[in-house]
Structure 1
Amino acid sequence: MNATAAYRQASPTGSKKHAGARLQQAVRRNSLLSPAGLSEYVFARLFHGLVYAQIWEDPEVDMAALEIGPGHHLVTIASGGCNALSYLLADPARIEAVDLNPAHVAFNRLKLAALATLPDYETFHRFYGKADDSANIEDYGRYLAPVLDAETRAYWEGRTLSGRKRISIFRRRLYRHGLLGNFIGWGHRVARLYGADPRGLLQARTLEDQRRFFDSTIAPLFEKRLVRWATGQKSSLFGLGIPPQQYEALAGGSDMATVLRARLEKLACDFPLSENYFAWQAFGRGYGEGDCPLPPYLSRENFEAVRARADRASVVNVSITELLAAKPAASVDRYVLLDAQDWMSDEQLNALWAEITRTAKPDARVIFRTAAADNLLPGRVEDATLSRWDYREAESRAFHARDRSSIYGGFHLHVFRG
């Protein structure tokens, strides 16, 4: 089956009401009439739109930890879709992506359509690498719109409060949009308010230059009263995709300005700019030109392989627990949970891990990230379930150190014992 045919057969996302209900169920813990419940409601409403135009987990770390091989069946949370597509380079048999956010589902389906129908790498890179050209809108009408399912097409041709069609973000610097893109823009504006321009980091030529710029220009911002006050408000970090219940885990008993400074320091200082496209996104608000780094799926040398295998990937608007519950036993090789478990209650965690354990093939692997450093599963997931998994603690710490996105406190790898 070719990529276009496979894409046409993708199942619909479901009704907006159903999608919104799933998201509310995932986030809500408290009564709407309580301060905590109101905060959860606001976050869920914000999270219903596009949040991540680029996923913020390092796919090279993921692939090293997962040890994906030919024939493997992966289940992953989609987010921006960069990683799910990058996993295709390891030649798995199937990748099923899920997301509770209908905007992310539409975003991923557009990527699959682009791989299936855009004529060449240059056109694909202009669409997702530069993402600021009116020719992208022409290509959408010519190549993509005719192959999209009705709901996805309605999403992209629908209008925002500004009156613009959503697809227009591909000629208006895509990566400056979405909840995270807007948050990064806010950070740049605050920095300029204090006379600092974060884009200056991108002029560095060595790690020593990067360190010097961070210490002299970026680090002092976290001592400013406005920054410390703003980061102390849970709602201020909704733009990072951090729900209220994840805020405390991220803070870990410290003040949030100190935590964010440390995460940004790793991003700015621990990896050469020539290798870290996450730093380009944070400090340049987009991908660089020329030889600047790109996600694996977007690199020229990987394009034909990703395109040829794109029909092995799909995305649906359900929770990962729902998807797994519909599968036969011992049917999945690899699981990617991103940081979704930080949102979950104990009941939800146990339901998820019961399905993961039921559907896991021998030697199955699960990876996830956490806002805090520690593995959140012990003491929360029942011992009868968790004892069937081997937590690779030393490997997890090593993979975390290699993660170029630098925004999480911990990376965790579990391997199925049977």
Structure 2
Amino acid sequence: MNQSLSVKKRISLVVNPDAVFSQEGLLEHIFGRFFRGLVYAQIWEDPVADMTALQLGSDDDIVCIASGGCNVMSYLCAQPTSISAVDLSPAHVALNRLKLAAARHLPDQASFYDFFGHANRPHNITHFDQYLAPHLDADTLRYWDKASLVGKRKSMFRKGLYRHGLLGRFIGLVHLATRIGRVRFKSLLQAKTLEEQALFFEQQIAPLFETSFVRFLARRRSLLFGLGIPPAQYDKLAADRDGDIVSVLRERTRKLFCDFQIGDNYFAWQAANRSYAPDGKGPVPPYLEAQYFEILRANADRVTVANQSITEMLASQPNGSKSVYVLLDAQDWMNDRQLNELWTEITRTARSGARVLFRTGGVEDILPGRVSAHLLDQWIYDDEASRKATAEDRSAIYGGVHLYRMGR
């Protein structure tokens, strides 16, 4: 079986596990096709909230879903023993491997920040060819050197990485809609207080959710693919407000723009500006902070990145070999059989003191009643840490962040 077919099969088993011929099944199939490419140039989960909840340390062996790599690279700042990152998207695997190579081989922190902070400097392509290409594995180099409709994929780092990928294009469409609505994000980005941010939201953003155009778009499941939301997760989002998806999206947008200081929230900057602060002095993920660059460089070889599912990877690991599992929102995509297969492997490979952190589109924990009691009873739900992480997650898009601790 060639690699392309293997990727298709893996994704189809996750996003369309029941393979039914229905409108739902068709939407899952379309979403799966989108997910083979780059979805997240920046992930939409807050690694600082994760690291605080998990209390990451140097003795941790971490298993996580890679996504765009902001989490993987930021966890590396805690200098864990190892990080095993997996992703079903070959594009995400290529991006993570590129970030690791850049930490090892770019000349200094300034060039590293140019590549992934500014992500739009012409000399990034020269640096790719000179410093990175000689150290990339064949698959990763082939991915970034491959031609696309706008030139070679590596040209993203000259044209603005965060305007690319499924999420980047979706945010671009949102900006088109806000321009039509005469929204001006400049006042938000210059706000000095939370009160000023709340005023911006109430005056410029909230009225958009009352328009028939936005309400029509929000109810089209396929359009929310741009947020990385498959049909099954759409239902979990809508369930929080009795099926009113518009109300859910309004509240989570309010949290994004109003609950955290704009000077501390790089997610709000990406949503409002499609980039981090142009002067390089604004908020960024931990791995882009200058203080961590030498730590990244020294510890990058502790990370492995593989194109496979997390259950598949765990099945190959020894008993009691892992201490931290970060599942992002992947469980929202899973049926009960897949959840039990995953937690069987998590429980088998977990050592004493292990922690599992995940997010859900809805507010409630999805595991009770779905994961077998003989598995889940070996874990303790940390309600306090879960509530705190949910409140502190600056991305604001998820209904809940949940933390379990090994009980045995």
TM norm structure 1: 0.95
* Structure 1 stretches of 4+ moved >6 Å: none
Matched, 1:188 2:189: no
- Aligned to 2:351, the other structure's residue is in SS state strand
- Which residue type is aligned with residue 266 of structure 2? Y
Q: 8 Å contact 2:117–2:280 — kept in the other structure?
A: no
- Aligned to 1:92, the other structure's residue is in SS state coil
- 1:59 and 1:29 map into 2 onto residues whose CA distance is 29
**1:281-296 matches, cutoff 5 A:** 281-288=270-277, 289-296=279-286
Task: Give the corresponding residue for 2:156.
Answer: 169
Task: Give the corresponding residue for 1:8.
Answer: none
Q: 8 Å contact 1:98–1:317 — kept in the other structure?
A: yes
- Offset at residue 198 of structure 1 (A): 3.3
Task: Give the corresponding residue for 2:185.
Answer: 198
- Deviation string for 1:45-92 (max 9, x for gaps)? 111110001111111111111111212100000001111111112221
- Deviation string for 1:358-379 (max 9, x for gaps)? 0000010000000000000000
CA RMSD between the two structures? 1.1
- Deviation string for 1:254-302 (max 9, x for gaps)? 3211111100100100110111111101111100024211110001111
**1:14-413 matches, cutoff 5 A:** 15-31=3-19, 33-160=21-148, 162-252=149-239, 253-288=242-277, 289-413=279-403
- Aligned to 2:263, the other structure's residue is in SS state coil
- Deviation string for 1:77-134 (max 9, x for gaps)? 0001111111112221100100011110011011011111100011000000101111
TM norm structure 2: 0.97
- Offset at residue 32 of structure 1 (A): 6.0
- Aligned to 2:297, the other structure's residue is in SS state helix
- Aligned to 1:69, the other structure's residue is in SS state coil
- Offset at residue 394 of structure 1 (A): 2.4
- Aligned to 1:348, the other structure's residue is in SS state helix
- Aligned to 2:147, the other structure's residue is in SS state coil
Report sequence identity in percent: 53
- 1:362 and 1:403 map into 2 onto residues whose CA distance is 27
Structure 1 residues not aligned, in runs of 5+:
1-13
Q: 8 Å contact 1:336–1:367 — kept in the other structure?
A: yes
- Aligned to 1:400, the other structure's residue is in SS state helix
**Length, aligned pairs only:** 404
- Offset at residue 200 of structure 1 (A): 3.5
- Aligned to 1:334, the other structure's residue is in SS state strand
- Which residue type is aligned with residue 379 of structure 1? G
- Which residue type is aligned with residue 159 of structure 1? A
Q: 8 Å contact 2:114–2:121 — kept in the other structure?
A: yes
- 2:333 and 2:186 map into 1 onto residues whose CA distance is 33
- Offset at residue 37 of structure 1 (A): 1.4
- 2:55 and 2:135 map into 1 onto residues whose CA distance is 33
